[in-house]
Structure formats: C-alpha cells, structure tokens
Amino acid sequence: MSNPHEPVPAHDAYHPYGRNRHGAGANRAAMIVHTIADIAAGFLGLWILLYLLEANQGNVFVDFVHGMADWLAGWSQDIFTMKLEGLRVFLNYGLPAVIYLLLGHGIAARIRRL
C-alpha cells in the first residue's frame, strides 16, 4: 500500500493533464468547436425533419429553424436539383450537416492533440 502522504503523480487517471492544468485551454477550445459543429448539424437535421413531417411553415419556431438552416446551408443550396422535393431538401441540407460534423469533430480532435 502506498504512503497516503506521497504526492499524487502528475498524470494520474483523475487528472489527465496533471495538477497544473496544462492542456485544459486546448481541451476547452476543442469542446467549443465540437459543440458549435453539433449545434449547426442539429439545426440542419431539425429543419429536414420539420420539412419532411410537413410542419406549419407559418409557425415562428419553424420559421426560425428554417432561417438558421438556410443560413448554415447557403453555400450548398441547389447542389442537388432532383424533382422529388423531399429528397432534394434532405440532400441539400443533409450534406452540410455531415460536413459540419466531420470538420468540427476532426478539428476538435486535432486541437485536443496539441
């Protein structure tokens, strides 16, 4: 059994960055990037769901989600121009959602390694 008065090692299971919190800033920044990517993809996914379920377009909440989704997916609009409206919305808003998730999580992982 170890001496209870010995100092805790710098890198133990309870303090992965040590007692001096080296790397905590990078971890926090990675969490922010990760969260922003998840929120962006969430808005896009929610708009797809609301559209496919034929939500009331006159509702304030639905209008807000649609506006956010349009802003987030503005760069990818009309990449897919098929006649099936539901499939077109799914692909034109789903593609940026996937890209935001992949980029956001990839960047966050890279920040954590710094």
Residue 66 pLDDT = 96
d(CA 103, CA 110): 10
Please indicate, yes or no, if residue 79 is contained in any of the structural domains: yes
Instruction: Label each residue of 30-87 as H, E or C.
Output: HHHHHHHHHHHHHHHHHHHHHHHCCCCCCCHHHHHHHHHHHHHCHHHCCCCCCCCHHH
Please indicate, yes or no, if residue 52 is contained in any of the structural domains: yes
Q: How many domains does the chain have?
A: 1
Residue 73 pLDDT = 94
Rounded average pLDDT per 10-residue block, the chain, 114 residues: 60 50 78 96 97 94 96 90 90 95 95 87
Please indicate, yes or no, if residue 26 is contained in any of the structural domains: no
Residue 20 pLDDT = 45
d(CA 62, CA 47): 8
Residue 62 pLDDT = 96
pTM: 0.75
Residue 1 pLDDT = 53
Please indicate, yes or no, if residue 28 is contained in any of the structural domains: no
Please indicate, yes or no, if residue 111 is contained in any of the structural domains: no
Domain of residue 42: give its range.
37-105
Please indicate, yes or no, if residue 7 is contained in any of the structural domains: no
Q: Phi and psi of 78, rounded to 5°?
A: 65, 25
Q: Tokens standing for 102?
A: 């992949």
Please indicate, yes or no, if residue 57 is contained in any of the structural domains: yes
Please indicate, yes or no, if residue 49 is contained in any of the structural domains: yes
